[in-house]
């Protein structure tokens, strides 16, 4: 982009200068920070050191994974041995109890999700944000509804008090405006043309 030389020469560079500076003098350099804390030196690694660190970390993670796998495997073996020692009736009963526990856990998760949806619907019906649902879910529908109603009352009171604070202010002063009663017609016209 080309600038017109005449425009550049017209710019008053002193407008941007700091006050108190003399023409032709350089600004004072910034002094060094006098902090007691020294910056930590940047740590560098050679390729071999970086590879050693990475391989050590991988070995630790692999050992952790293998330990978890072994624990899970031993647990499954113990359960299989336990089932092998049982009679057919006992085995069927143990499997039935295991399925019941699994079903109960799934049912509980379903009930929580249903309650979450119901709370979100109630919040929406009451004109409140659905993001509050996680805070207002109770043990059952009745306690959740009670939580929503209490929250709605507290929320409305807080909003009302903030609105009143914003609306509260100094009342306008009587006769605070400029009066045109004492002005002549020419003075009013001059004031209007300003």
Say yes or no to pLDDT of 25 above 70: no
Say yes or no to pLDDT of 178 above 80: no
Q: At what angle do helices 88-125 and 47-85 cross, to 10 degrees?
A: 120
Q: Is this model's pTM higher than 0.85 or not?
A: no
Domain ranges of the chain: 107-164
Q: At what angle do helices 141-167 and 88-125 cross, to 10 degrees?
A: 30
Contacts of 27 (CB under 8 A, 6+ apart): 18, 21
């Amino acid at each position: 982009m080309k600038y017109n030389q005449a425009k550049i020469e017209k710019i008053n560079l002193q407008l941007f200068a700091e006050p108190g500076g003399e023409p032709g003098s350089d600004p004072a350099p910034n002094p060094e920070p006098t902090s007691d804390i020294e910056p930590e030196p940047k740590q560098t690694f050679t390729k071999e050191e970086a590879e050693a660190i990475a391989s050590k970390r991988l070995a630790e993670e692999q050992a952790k994974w293998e330990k978890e796998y072994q624990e899970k495997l031993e647990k499954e073996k113990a359960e299989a041995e336990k089932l092998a020692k049982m009679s057919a009736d006992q085995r069927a009963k143990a499997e039935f109890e295991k399925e019941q526990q699994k079903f109960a856990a799934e049912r509980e998760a379903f009930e929580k999700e249903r309650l979450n949806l119901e709370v979100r619907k109630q919040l929406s019906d009451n004109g409140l944000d659905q993001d509050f649902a996680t805070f207002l879910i109770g043990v059952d529908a009745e306690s959740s509804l009670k939580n929503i109603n209490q929250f709605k009352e507290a929320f409305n009171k807080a909003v009302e008090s903030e609105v009143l604070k914003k609306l509260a202010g100094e009342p306008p002063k009587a006769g605070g405006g400029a009066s045109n009663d004492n002005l002549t017609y020419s003075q009013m016209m001059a004031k209007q043309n300003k």
